[in-house]
Every structure is written in C-alpha cells, then in structure tokens.
C-alpha cells in the first residue's frame, strides 16, 4: 500500500502529494465528486466512514521506505481529514509522522472545530485551509448544500486562529455556490494567505462565471492577495 501519492488531472491543482485517510465522508455535500473518483455508491461513501485499513502504519512505512521528506502533503482529496462526528485521531497521528520526517502539511476541511485540536502540531511551513462556497444566511443554505459539515462560521474561526498562530492559511472557494458571499469574504477577510477559486462543475448554476471570475480577480489584485484561479473558471473568464 502506498497511501502517499501524486494526484493527477484536476486534483493536481490541490498539491504535489496527497493522502486520503478515511474510506468515506459524512458531510454529504451535494456536489461531492469523491464517490465518482472512487467508483463507489454515493450513499455508501457517506455512510461507511472509517480510517483506511492500517493507514497510520502504512504512512509510517512508506515515509521510511522511500525517505519522503520536505514535501507538501495535502490532506485529503477524496475525504475530509476531520469527518464530523467521527474519531479523527488517525489524522493527528499521520500529521505527527509527516512533521517528524520533515514534511509539511496542507489541510483542507469543512470541520474547523475539530481541526483546532491539531494546531499545536503545525508551524509556519504548514497550510490550514477551509472550503468556503459562499452561503445564504450561513445556517440555512448549508443545511441543504453541505448538511453534515461544520458550519462556515466555525471554519472561519479556525482559519483566523491558525493565522494568528503563524500557520499559513488558505481558502478553497470551490465550488462557488453564492458568488456575492464569496466576494464579500474576499473583501473582508484579512487572515487568508492564499485563495483558490473555482466554479461549480457538473451541476446547474445561475452564476455568470465570467463576470464572477473577473470581479474576484480584480478584488484579489486590489487587495494584493495571493490567489489561484482554477482552470475551469479561467476557461470561462477567457471566453469572448
């Protein structure tokens, strides 16, 4: 088993290396792509959530066997490293192994509250990130779009906490569900080191992607924010 792998295709835009710690994710985001990637039934993916077999030990062995060091490793691509309502101790153990071997961590989660536990393991070489899709009234819209995830307010609290601890912070505004709310957050949040912005793919949306992308980019530039526009959104922006 080689749990540390190099992502391909669209996933490459997340990072150079990745580990998927859990078999599924309980957050039930309606736009979740992971069951497709894993060739699993959606319902099974969201219902059966446990650490992949011997995942902690297998990460330890691979790091030692291949001498993996000084790499930025993304947690996670086909699951959330902090599945809400489940024991995420394996995530903490894996972070420890990676840090002890001189690697750096890039977290992406929708569960800010549980993630706070592991900030003592992270430093200025690590990245803590949240997904922020933009929400109508935060509690109302999330109940349908990401029903079992941590609420956006808690994610932003965790993000600001990480920033204040000197951990690098990033926001994955992908997929954008509410363009106005995302633009507002870009305007207001002064505790984000990097923005990654992407459109909603494969589902209908009434957002004018070209217009949104151009407004977001203008704003990010005016605030001198570091940012990355995902390829599918950039393609929309490049259309005549």
CB of 195 to ligand SF4, least distance (A): 18
CB of 29 to ligand SF4, least distance (A): 3
CB of 127 to ligand SF4, least distance (A): 17
Q: With b meaning 16 or more CB within 10 Å and e meaning fewer, what string describes 9-30?
A: eebeebbebbbbbbbbbbbbbe
User: Residue written as tokens 């997904």?
Assistant: 131
Which of residues 32 and 94 has its CB atom nearest to ligand SF4 in the complex?
Answer: 32
Cα separation, 151 vs 113, whole angstroms: 9
Which of residues 33 and 163 has its CB atom nearest to ligand SF4 in the complex?
Answer: 33
Which of residues 142 and 183 has its CB atom nearest to ligand SF4 in the complex?
Answer: 142
CB of 223 to ligand SF4, least distance (A): 27
Residue in 138, 149, 171 with CA at minimum distance from that of residue 46: 149
Residues that bind ligand SF4 (CB under 6 A): 25, 27-29, 32, 34, 79-80, 110, 149
Which of residues 29 and 56 has its CB atom nearest to ligand SF4 in the complex?
Answer: 29
Residue in 190, 39, 44, 13 with CA at minimum distance from that of residue 108: 13
Which of residues 27 and 74 has its CB atom nearest to ligand SF4 in the complex?
Answer: 27
Which of residues 75 and 220 has its CB atom nearest to ligand SF4 in the complex?
Answer: 75
CB of 52 to ligand SF4, least distance (A): 14
CB of 110 to ligand SF4, least distance (A): 5
Q: How many helices (H) and strands (E) does the chain have?
A: 10, 7
104-109 vs 127-131, strand pairing mode: parallel
Cα separation, 128 vs 110, whole angstroms: 11
């Amino acid at each position: 088993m080689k749990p540390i792998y190099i992502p391909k295709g669209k996933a490459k835009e997340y990072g150079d290396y990745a580990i998927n710690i859990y078999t599924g994710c309980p957050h039930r985001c309606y736009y979740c792509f992971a069951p497709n990637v894993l060739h699993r039934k959606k319902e099974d993916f969201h219902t059966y959530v446990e650490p992949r077999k011997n995942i902690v030990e297998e990460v330890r062995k691979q790091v030692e066997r291949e001498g993996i060091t000084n790499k930025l490793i993304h947690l996670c691509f086909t699951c959330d490293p902090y599945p809400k309502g489940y024991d995420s101790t394996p995530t903490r153990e894996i972070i420890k192994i990676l840090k002890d071997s001189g690697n750096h961590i890039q977290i992406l989660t929708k569960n800010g509250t549980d993630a706070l536990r592991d900030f003592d393991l992270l430093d200025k070489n690590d990245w803590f990130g949240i997904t922020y899709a933009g929400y109508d009234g935060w509690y109302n819209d999330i109940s349908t779009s990401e029903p079992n995830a941590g609420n956006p307010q808690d994610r932003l609290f965790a993000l600001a906490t990480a920033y204040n601890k000197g951990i690098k912070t990033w926001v994955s505004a992908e997929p954008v569900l509410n363009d106005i709310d995302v633009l507002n957050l870009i305007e207001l949040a002064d505790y984000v080191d990097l923005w990654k912005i992407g459109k909603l793919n494969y589902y209908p949306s009434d957002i004018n992607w070209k217009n949104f992308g151009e407004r977001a980019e203008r704003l990010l530039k005016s605030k001198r924010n570091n940012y990355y526009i995902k390829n599918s959104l950039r393609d929309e922006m490049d259309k005549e």
